[in-house]
C-alpha cells in the first residue's frame, strides 16, 4: 500500500490512540518505499493534522450536526485530513482534496457516509468561495468574526468560513490551534500581536540547523562539501559553528561529512547554551541531564576535547545515542554516568562548571513536536517545575566555590524558568546571577534586567529558550 493519504490515516489513528506523532510516522514510512514527494506529503498531512487539531475540530463542530467528539474516531480523523488539505494545502486542488477524502471514507468502513463527507467538505468550499479560503487563518482579522480573505490567485474577496468567538484567548486558540492555557501563558508575557506572531511561527515546518565540529573541519569546508551535492545552507550570525539547511536535504546521514564527524544536527538556540557555559580546556564539567548529548558534544568541542566531562542521565538507552555521537565526532573527553542526578553525592564540589539543561514542557519547540501542545497540561508543568527545583538545588552542590552553573530550558513558561531561578536564589545566598557583560553573545538574545536570557522564536527564527548563568561565590562552604 503506497497511498500517502491512507498511510497518513493509519498513522493518525495510532496518534489518537496515544502514539507520539513522530513514532507513528516512522512506523508507516518504514513499511513502504515511497518517492520523496509522497514521503513529504505523508509527513505534512500527519504533522499538520495533529498541529491544527483544534481548528479542524471546530470546523467539524460548525458544519456537522454532531460535534467532533461525538463522531466515530476514525471518521473524525478522515475529516481532519480533508479539512486540513482544503484549508492549509494550497498546492492540492480542492477537488482532489475532497475526492481523496471521500475515497478514504469508502475504504475505511464508512462507505455509507461518503455523501456526508462529500457534503461537509463542499459546504466549507461554498462558504469560502471558489478558492477554498486557503491560508485564511493568517488573514482572519482578529477584530471581525467574518473577514474577507483575499485570494492570491484572484482579485475577488473570499471569506474564511471559520467562525471565531469574541474572547481573545479562545479566538487565538481556535484560529491557531493551541489550548487556551498556552495562549494565556504567552499573553501574560507578550502583547496580543506578538502572541499571534508566536502562534504562527510555532505552526511552521521546522528548519534544521547543524553545528560544525571545529576539531575535524571548518565551516568553509562543510559549506563546500554540501554545495558539491547541491545542498544549500546559510550561516547564522553570531554563532561561529552554525549553518541552517535551506530546502530539502534528503537523508541527513547520507550527506557529506556526517559519517566523518564533521558536523552534527543541533538547533542554533541550543548552541547558545554551551557558549554561555564557556567551558575551558582542562576543566571538569558535569552535564547533569545530558542525553541525547547535543550540548555535551558541543562542550567537548569548545574545550578542544581536553578535560573531563561527566555526562549523566537517567536513561541508559538515551545515553547510547550520546555515545554513538561522540564516537562519530571522535571525542574522547566524555564519560557516561547512568542514574538520577538528584541522587548523586559523589560529585560534591568537583566541577568547574555544571550544565543543567532541565527536563521541561518544551513549549519553545512545539513546531518540532506536533503533539506537544496537546500532551502538556498546567498540571504537567507544575510537576516539571518541582523536578527542576530539586535538580537545581542538588546539582548546584557539584560546583566548586567560584564555579559556574548554567540553567537552560527549551520552554517559555515562567513557572519552569524565572520562578525556578528566583526560588533557588532566595534559598541560596552563596549564588548569584552572573552579569552578561563580557560574554560574546549575539546581540539579539534578549537579556532581562534580572540577567537571564530569553530567545523568542518569532523574533529570532530559532527555538524558544531560557538560559541563565549562575556563579557560586568563593566564600561558599
Residue 200 · residue 178 · CB < 8 Å: no
The question of whether 410 is a catalytic residue gets the answer yes
Tell me whether strands 351-357 and 242-246 are parallel, antiparallel or unpaired. Answer: unpaired
Residue 475 · residue 432 · CB < 8 Å: no
Q: How many CB atoms lie within 10 A of CB 234?
A: 12
DSSP 116-128: HHHHHHHHHHHHH
Q: Of 393, 388, 471, which Cα lies nearest the Cα of 430?
A: 471
Catalytic residue among 199, 312, 360, 410, which?
Answer: 410
DSSP category for residue 391: H
Q: Of 385, 339, 395, 391, which Cα lies nearest the Cα of 361?
A: 385
Residue 461, SS3 per DSSP:
coil
Question: Per residue in 390-399, is it b (16+ CB within 10 Å) or e — as a string?
Answer: ebbebbbbbb
CB-based contacts of 30: which residues, under 8 Å, 6+ apart? none
Tell me whether strands 209-212 and 263-265 are parallel, antiparallel or unpaired. Answer: antiparallel
Which residues are tagged catalytic? Answer: 410
Amino acid at each position: 500500500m503506497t497511498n500517502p493519504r491512507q498511510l497518513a490515516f493509519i498513522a493518525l489513528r495510532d496518534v489518537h490512540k496515544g502514539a507520539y506523532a513522530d513514532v507513528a510516522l516512522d512506523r508507516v514510512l518504514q513499511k513502504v518505499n515511497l518517492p520523496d514527494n509522497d514521503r513529504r506529503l505523508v509527513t505534512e498531512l500527519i504533522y499538520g493534522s495533529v498541529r491544527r487539531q483544534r481548528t479542524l475540530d471546530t470546523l467539524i463542530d460548525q458544519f456537522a450536526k454532531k460535534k467532533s467528539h461525538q463522531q466515530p474516531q476514525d471518521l473524525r480523523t478522515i475529516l481532519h485530513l480533508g479539512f486540513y488539505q482544503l484549508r492549509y494545502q494550497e498546492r492540492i486542488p480542492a477537488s482532489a482534496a475532497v475526492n481523496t477524502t471521500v475515497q478514504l471514507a469508502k475504504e475505511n468502513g464508512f462507505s455509507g457516509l461518503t455523501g456526508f463527507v462529500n457534503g461537509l467538505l463542499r459546504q466549507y468550499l461554498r462558504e469560502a468561495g471558489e478558492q477554498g479560503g486557503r491560508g485564511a487563518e493568517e488573514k482572519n482579522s482578529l477584530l471581525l468574526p467574518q473577514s474577507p480573505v483575499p485570494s492570491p490567485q484572484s482579485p475577488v474577496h473570499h471569506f474564511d468560513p471559520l467562525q471565531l468567538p469574541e474572547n481573545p484567548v479562545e479566538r487565538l486558540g481556535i484560529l491557531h490551534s493551541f489550548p487556551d492555557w498556552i495562549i494565556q501563558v504567552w499573553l501574560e508575557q507578550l502583547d496580543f500581536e506578538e502572541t499571534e506572531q508566536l502562534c504562527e511561527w510555532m505552526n511552521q515546518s521546522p528548519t534544521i540547523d547543524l553545528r560544525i565540529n571545529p576539531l575535524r573541519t571548518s565551516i568553509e569546508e562543510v559549506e563546500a562539501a554540501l554545495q558539491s551535492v547541491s545542498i544549500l545552507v546559510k550561516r547564522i550570525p553570531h554563532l561561529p559553528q552554525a549553518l541552517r539547511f535551506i530546502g530539502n536535504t534528503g537523508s541527513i546521514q547520507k550527506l557529506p561529512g556526517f559519517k566523518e564527524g564533521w558536523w552534527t544536527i543541533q538547533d542554533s538556540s541550543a548552541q547558545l547554551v554551551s557558549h554561555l557555559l564557556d567551558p575551558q580546556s582542562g576543566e571538569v564539567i558535569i552535564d547533569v541531564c545530558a542525553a541525547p548529548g547535543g550540548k555535551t558534544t558541543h562542550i567537548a568541542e569548545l574545550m578542544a576535547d581536553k578535560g573531563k566531562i561527566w555526562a549523566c542521565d537517567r536513561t541508559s538507552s538515551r545515553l547510547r545515542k550520546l555515545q554513538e555521537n561522540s564516537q562519530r565526532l571522535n571525542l574522547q573527553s566524555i564519560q557516561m554516568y547512568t542514574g538520577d542526578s538528584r541522587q548523586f553525592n559523589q560529585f560534591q564540589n568537583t566541577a568547574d562548571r555544571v550544565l543543567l539543561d532541565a527536563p521541561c514542557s518544551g513549549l519553545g519547540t512545539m513546531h518540532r513536536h506536533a503533539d506537544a501542545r496537546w500532551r502538556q497540561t498546567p498540571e504537567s508543568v507544575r510537576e516539571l517545575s518541582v523536578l527542576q527545583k530539586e535538580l537545581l538545588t542538588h546539582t548546584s552542590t557539584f560546583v566548586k566555590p567560584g564555579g559556574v552553573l548554567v540553567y537552560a530550558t527549551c520552554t517559555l513558561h515562567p513557572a519552569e524558568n524565572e520562578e525556578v531561578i528566583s526560588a533557588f536564589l532566595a534559598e541560596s545566598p552563596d549564588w548569584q546571577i552572573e552579569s552578561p557583560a563580557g560574554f560574546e553573545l549575539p546581540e539579539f538574545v534578549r537579556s532581562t534586567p534580572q540577567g537571564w536570557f530569553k530567545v523568542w522564536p518569532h523574533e529570532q527564527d530559532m527555538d524558544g529558550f531560557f538560559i541563565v548563568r549562575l556563579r557560586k561565590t568563593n566564600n561558599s562552604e
